Structure 1
């Protein structure tokens, strides 16, 4: 696993071309990245899947030895099945087998894409492997929340629209803007969260007070309410999101934006997977309920 993860939001040529020359590439990398063990408990992950960080002595020993062994030292495999890796003699004596999940991402879901029911690790695995200090912060906040429900409301990036050749706005998720507005959230979750409950909200919505209308029915709570716990600890939004995910997972009733599993509760029925079909956004109610 990489020892550091990039947290720079500018991943494009324009951003690279307009970087200042006053700092070295190493300094920029340090500024725009965070240590992987500041996000994850590597020892805890290793109890399930052994992890070697790329700045560890163990990794350097493996890499050095594999380079000395030449063709018997390392094999870069792509689109090679696990069965072939285990059964073919050409791989059996290789010291290091490198399978890059994706050149564009640190992680890849641990699943067989030809058999989506054959999940090797659940979606909740990595979120539950947060670094100890993040877990401790989440536990403190959960204790203060007491008995609570929670919703994750993804807006921001997912509300992207573009105009078609007739100038009409279209989106990949036609109901998501509607379904994540307070009045529709209140209607949707009414059957799961009774009035008067404490409702923890985690969202990337930037408009202050956007969810305030929900306060007419619920006691609202956000991570920002616990700045005394988080401010001394949180260094970037990745750490904050990991704490929020732990809080979400600890709720009595947890409602996601999209369904990830068939038994999940969700704010929208739009599929999470990108359908690549640009549709006209829908803002009207489907029924007269609520």
Structure 2
């Protein structure tokens, strides 16, 4: 894993507190990043799969050895199935496999040298591996929330539109803007969340009071309600995101914006990964379930 995580101020308003145009590249990187072990519990992750940070002696040894081995040292692969990687002797004998095909990739393929198999971790694994102080903050907030439900509402970056050559507005997620508005959320989640429940909302929507209409049916809660717990702990927005993610996962009923798998509850049926097909936005309730 990388030893540092990018928290560039372009997407993180708490990223750089003190910036100087005279700083060199290394200084700017230090200012716009945070240590990975401030975000994740490396010892906890290592109980499942050993972690090697890219500034450790172990990592330098791996790179040095792979360079000495030449073609047998490392391969940058992309679009190759796990079966091919396992059965093709060229790959099975390599020291290191980079599945993203980028020499600068942060995450490498984990391999069990005893049985030549890759370690496939579920999507839920890494979110639960947050640093101890972040897990502690999340636990305190969940204790105050008590019995609660939660929704993650991703808007901002996903509802952007662009005009086609005729000046018509189009979007990659045609139903998302509609599906994540309060009036539709009320309609969508009523079959999953009974009236009167505490509803924790995590969202990148920046409009103040945007979700207030949901208060007609639910007791609303946001991370901003717990600043006394969070302010002494979080140093950047990524840490806040990690805490919110733990809170979402701890809810009795968790409703995502997009489905991650077929069993998930979600606000929209639009696919999370679009095929770059720009479509007309849909705002009517006629097509809604």
Query: When the two structures are superposed, what TM-score results if normalisation uses the length of structure 2?
Result: 0.85
Distance change in 2, residues 1:91/1:264 (3 Å):
closer
User: Which position in structure 1 is the counterpart of 2:143?
Assistant: 143
User: Which position in structure 2 is the counterpart of 1:165?
Assistant: 165
CA distance in 2, matches of 1:248, 1:280: 31
CA distance in 2, matches of 1:144, 1:137: 11
User: Which position in structure 1 is the counterpart of 2:183?
Assistant: 183
User: Which position in structure 1 is the counterpart of 2:74?
Assistant: 75
Distance change in 2, residues 1:214/1:86 (3 Å):
closer
Cα distance per residue 1:230-261 (max 9 Å; x no partner):
11111111111110010000000000001111
Gaps of at least 5 residues in structure 2 are: 12-18, 111-117
Gaps of at least 5 residues in structure 1 are: 12-18, 111-117
**Counterpart secondary structure, 2:139:** helix
Distance change in 2, residues 1:92/1:221 (3 Å):
closer
**Counterpart secondary structure, 1:246:** helix
Contact 2:3 / 2:53 at 8 angstroms: preserved in 1?
yes
Contact 2:96 / 2:108 at 8 angstroms: preserved in 1?
no
5 Å matches for 1:45-56? Answer: 45-56=45-56
CA distance in 2, matches of 1:236, 1:25: 21
Distance change in 2, residues 1:9/1:101 (3 Å):
farther
1:97 to partner: Cα distance: 1.5
RMSD after superposition: 2.8
1:93 to partner: Cα distance: 6.0
1:83 to partner: Cα distance: 5.3
Cα distance per residue 1:48-91 (max 9 Å; x no partner):
22210011122223334444x35377223324655565566656
CA distance in 2, matches of 1:231, 1:278: 40
Contact 1:152 / 1:257 at 8 angstroms: preserved in 2?
yes
Cα distance per residue 1:15-58 (max 9 Å; x no partner):
xxxx9640011110001111111111111212222210011122
CA distance in 1, matches of 2:182, 2:9: 28
1:175 to partner: Cα distance: 0.7
Contact 2:149 / 2:197 at 8 angstroms: preserved in 1?
yes
5 Å matches for 1:124-135? Answer: 124-135=124-135
Distance change in 2, residues 1:281/1:81 (3 Å):
closer
Q: How many pairs align?
A: 273
Contact 1:161 / 1:170 at 8 angstroms: preserved in 2?
yes
